[in-house]
Amino acid sequence: MDLNELDKRLQNPPSPLEVIEHEAFANNGLRLFVKRDDLLHPHVSGNKWRKLKHNLLEAKRLGCTKLLTFGGAFSNHITATAAAGHAFGFSTLGVISGEESSAGNPSLDFALECGMKLRFTSRANMRNLSETALAHSLDIDLEKTFLLPQGGANCLAMQGCQEMVMEVEAQLGQPPDFIATACGTGTTLAGIATGLQAESKALGISVLKGSFLENEVKKLLSDCGKATNNGALRSNWTVLDDFHHGGYAKWTPELVQFINDFKQRTGIPLDPIYTGKAFFAAFELAKQGYFPKGASIVLVHTGGLQGITGFNERFGPLIK
């Protein structure tokens, strides 16, 4: 596939923007919408599509034939990169943190089915070494290889997230007052913040315990300032650190109940690692009166639904 064809195949029609009728919002005069990025592609869905799009184009432009990336054993980014490589003609190699015995979960099985080769490294190496150093430590040949950082967190990823904002503004006919997303690395939030009109506000709901994400987002905005409309100057975003339900991949019965209720009422599935926590947070904020009367709120469905199978295998069939 040449660059022109890849470019054509990556031109997605806008994902739907669905209106959600729910008393938690309507009672406060709020308008709620869900941006269904989970429907963009069966396996490269949600923010993964947005974050990979310009990376794939750049890889092709540079003449790379292989994608090399990094992640945990349940990483959505790993499965999405594997699926993208399979769909768009790149070979893929994933470096996974942890023991080789952690293979055999649904996410890594899927990556293997897509043709991704897997290598394993210690968590300490993954934390401390640069991507190139990691590749060297595993004797990985980097010829014609495009390196994607863990979580796909780079400036090109932010560009794709900016495009999602433009779609939302066109679909609404005006900028939304708030647009909210789950945050892991903060790249999606940073991309949204740079794409938004000044009067709109971006909310990032951290799925991790701790309060380091704000600095990560600042760093992304500063590093990617030139590529993204001088994002460093933007302050139209906030990270909310209190909705992690115990930490990454941790959960509470309230979260599980919310996800199941939300699906029953709207038909929209949510995953317990990312989107469930973000949407739960938005409902809590609406109840607490966080949003001014009459505000429009867009929740971005960032995908991640493949994580439900692994979650139910680990904890029992909790997510319906």
Provide the binding-site residues for ligand PLP, judged by CB under 6 A: 46-47, 76-77, 151, 153, 182-188, 274-275, 302-304
Q: Are 299 and 32 in contact (CB under 8 A)?
A: yes
Q: Are 268 and 301 in contact (CB under 8 A)?
A: yes
In the complex, what is the shortest distance from the CB of residue 299 to ligand PLP, in angstroms, rounded to a whole number? 11
Spatial separation of the C-alpha atoms in residues 122 and 100, rounded to whole Å? 10
Residue partners of 288: CB distance under 8 A and separation at least 6: none
In the complex, what is the shortest distance from the CB of residue 296 to ligand PLP, in angstroms, rounded to a whole number? 21
When the beta carbons of 92 and 188 are compared against ligand PLP, the nearer one is 188
In the complex, what is the shortest distance from the CB of residue 267 to ligand PLP, in angstroms, rounded to a whole number? 18
When the beta carbons of 174 and 222 are compared against ligand PLP, the nearer one is 222
How far from the centroid of its chain's Cα atoms is residue 318's Cα? Answer: 23
Helix, strand or coil, per DSSP, at residue 6: helix
Spatial separation of the C-alpha atoms in residues 282 and 268, rounded to whole Å? 15
Angle between helix axes 187-195 and 155-172 (nearest 10 degrees) is 50
Q: Are 178 and 201 in contact (CB under 8 A)?
A: yes
Spatial separation of the C-alpha atoms in residues 115 and 92, rounded to whole Å? 7
Distances in Å between the alpha carbon of 316 and those of 215, 256, 280, 305, 320?
A: 36, 12, 21, 16, 11
Q: Which of 258, 255, 219 is nearest to 239 (CA)?
A: 219
Burial call 64-103: b when 16+ CB within 10 Å, e when fewer: bebbbbbbbbbbbbbbbbbbbbbbbebbbbbbbbeeeeeb
In the complex, what is the shortest distance from the CB of residue 303 to ligand PLP, in angstroms, rounded to a whole number? 5
In the complex, what is the shortest distance from the CB of residue 102 to ligand PLP, in angstroms, rounded to a whole number? 18
When the beta carbons of 89 and 106 are compared against ligand PLP, the nearer one is 106
In the complex, what is the shortest distance from the CB of residue 186 to ligand PLP, in angstroms, rounded to a whole number? 5
When the beta carbons of 185 and 228 are compared against ligand PLP, the nearer one is 185
Spatial separation of the C-alpha atoms in residues 49 and 94, rounded to whole Å? 18
When the beta carbons of 153 and 268 are compared against ligand PLP, the nearer one is 153
When the beta carbons of 18 and 137 are compared against ligand PLP, the nearer one is 18
Residue nearest to ligand PLP (CB): 304
In the complex, what is the shortest distance from the CB of residue 313 to ligand PLP, in angstroms, rounded to a whole number? 18
When the beta carbons of 142 and 232 are compared against ligand PLP, the nearer one is 232
